[in-house]
A and B are shown apart, each in its own frame.
Chain A
Amino acid sequence: MKKFILYIIIGAATFIMGYTINNMYSPDLSPVQPIPFSHKIHAGTNKIPCMYCHIYAENSRHAGVPNVKRCMGCHSIIRTDSPLIQTLTSYWEKKEPIPWVKVYNLPDHVYFPHKRHVKAGVPCQRCHGDVANMDRITRQAVSFGIPYARVSPLKMGWCLECHKNEAQKYIGTPVKNGTDCWTCHN
C-alpha cells in the first residue's frame, strides 16, 4: 500500500514534469488560426499557385502572408455569403490586419532566405508538407491520433542533411559552403 502511494506520487510528479517540458520546449505544431483558412480548398481544390498569395517568396527572405486586400480581391465577389468570409470582410472593413498564428517559426539567429530556396527549385511542399490536403496547416503527420513524424522538424541536422545530400537533386551539387555556420546563422 505504501509503495502504491509512492508510485502514484512519482507518476504525478513526472507527468507534470513532462507536461511542462513539452509546453516549454516544443511549439504547438498545428495552431488554431483566427480564421479557419483552408489550404485544401484554395491550393487543393482550386489549384491556386502558392506564389499567388505568398508574393514575396521569390524575391525576399520572407515568403509573406497574403495581405488582406489580396484576400478581398477575390472574396469581395466569391462566397460573400459564408460567415467565415464575413469575418474576413469585417477585418477588412475595420481596417485591421488578421493576426495569423505562425506555424513555421525559426529562431532569430537563423537566416533562412525563401528566395534562394525557391530559386534553387526546392518545391514548397518539401518543407511545408502537402498543404494542398491540409485544412489547417500543421507540422505533424498524425495516424490514430498519435503524431508519429513531423513534416519538418526545423532542426539543424535536418537542414544540413538537405544541404549535403538532397541538394544534389535540385542543383546537382551539394550547397556551396552549405555546412558553413554563417551561411545560415547570423
Chain B
Amino acid sequence: MEKGILGLFTYVDTLLEAAQKLKGSGYSITIFSPIPLGHEIDHALGERKNYIKYLAFIGAAVGFILGIVLTLGTAALYVLPRGGRAIFPVTPTLLLSYETAILLGVFFTLTGFLVFAKLPSFKEKFYDPEVAIDSFGLLVDGVREDKFGDIEKVMREYGANEVKRIEKK
C-alpha cells in the first residue's frame, strides 16, 4: 500500500518556499490549493506550457471546414432552388461556418482540458478534504517511507501547521 506525506500550510508563500526546497532536493511534489495559484506557482517553480491554444485553433479550423461541408454538401445532395438564390451561396455558408467554428472550438478546448487535467478520474488518489477549504497542501509521494522523517522536518520548519502520512483513497 503506497503512502504519501502531505503537509498542510496556511500561507501560500511559506508553502511555495517549502515546495522549492523539496523540489530542489529532487522529490516529486504536488500542490493542492482551494484557489488557483497559477501566477504564484509559475513565479516560484517556473512557467508551464499551454497546449490548449493549439487545440482551440485546430478545433475552430475543423469547425469552419465542417460548416462549409455541411451547408454546401447537403445543398448539393438534394438540389432544390429557392428564392432565385444560388444553390451554393457564399454568405450563409460563411455565417454557419462561423457558428460551427466556435462550437467545435469549444468542444476541442473542453477535450483538451479534460485530457491534460486527467479528468474525469475516479481512481483512488492522495487527497485531503482540507485543501478544498482553507489550507494549502504540499504532497510528496513515490518515496520510501524512511525518507518521510526528514521531509516532515523540512515542511515543519517552513511552517506547515500539520503534516500527515496519508494513503490513497
**Residues of A at under 8 Å CB distance from B?**
179, 181
Contacts and interface: CB of A to CB of B under 8 A. Distances in A.
Contacts of B116: none
Contacts of B119: none
Interface of B: 78-80
Contacts of A179: 78-79
A94 B164 CA distance: 100
Contacts of B80: 181
Nearest to B80: A181
3 contacts: A179-B78, A179-B79, A181-B80
Contacts of B79: 179
A179 B77 CA distance: 11
Contacts of B78: 179
B167 to A, nearest CB: 32
Question: Which A-B residue pairs are the 3 nearest by beta carbons?
Answer: A179-B78, A179-B79, A181-B80
A20 B138 CA distance: 61
A50 B79 CA distance: 37
A179 B78 CA distance: 8
A179 B76 CA distance: 12
Nearest to A179: B78
A179 B80 CA distance: 9
Contacts of A181: 80
A179 B79 CA distance: 8
A43 B78 CA distance: 39
A6 to B, nearest CB: 24
A181 B81 CA distance: 12
Nearest to A181: B80
A12 B156 CA distance: 63
Nearest to B77: A179
A181 B78 CA distance: 10
A181 B80 CA distance: 9
B107 to A, nearest CB: 30
A179 B81 CA distance: 12
A142 B79 CA distance: 37
